[in-house]
């Protein structure tokens, strides 16, 4: 659906969350060049665990949840994402601003928006 909207000059934001590089590259292949942006929300697994209000990382570390990304299932970071958002160095507001700034600079959003 997203690729069809983009084909008609629309802009779509999707959370195509996948720990596997091949899956993300397959999604990228559905779009024309320069019509797809991969945003790497770069957060070390220990920071994810510290921020986990549901306790899922602790459960995974204890073996209660199997196939948990970053614990007993790999995460393959992107090789060349268009955006690399370092959530340790940035506040959530700064991260959002960086994403919006990039979208404006790449003409996905109007400069005045």
- Residues 53, 48: Cα–Cα separation, whole Å: 10
- 3 is known as an active-site residue: no
Indicate which residue of 3, 18, 29, 107 is catalytic: 18
DSSP classification of residue 108: S
3-class DSSP assignment, residue 83? strand
Integer CA distances (angstroms), 34 to 14, 19, 43, 67, in order: 16, 22, 25, 33
Catalytic residue annotation: 18
């Amino acid at each position: 659906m997203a690729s069809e909207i983009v084909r008609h000059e629309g802009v779509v934001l999707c959370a195509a969350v996948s720990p596997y590089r091949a899956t993300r590259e397959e999604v990228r292949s559905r779009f024309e060049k320069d019509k797809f942006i991969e945003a790497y929300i770069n957060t070390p697994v220990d920071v994810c665990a510290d921020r986990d209000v549901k306790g899922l990382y602790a459960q995974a570390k204890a073996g209660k949840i199997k196939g948990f990304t970053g614990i007993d299932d790999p995460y393959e970071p992107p090789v060349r994402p268009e955006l690399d958002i370092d959530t340790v160095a940035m506040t959530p507001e700064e991260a959002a601003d960086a994403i919006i700034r990039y979208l404006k600079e790449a003409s996905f959003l109007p400069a005045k928006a």
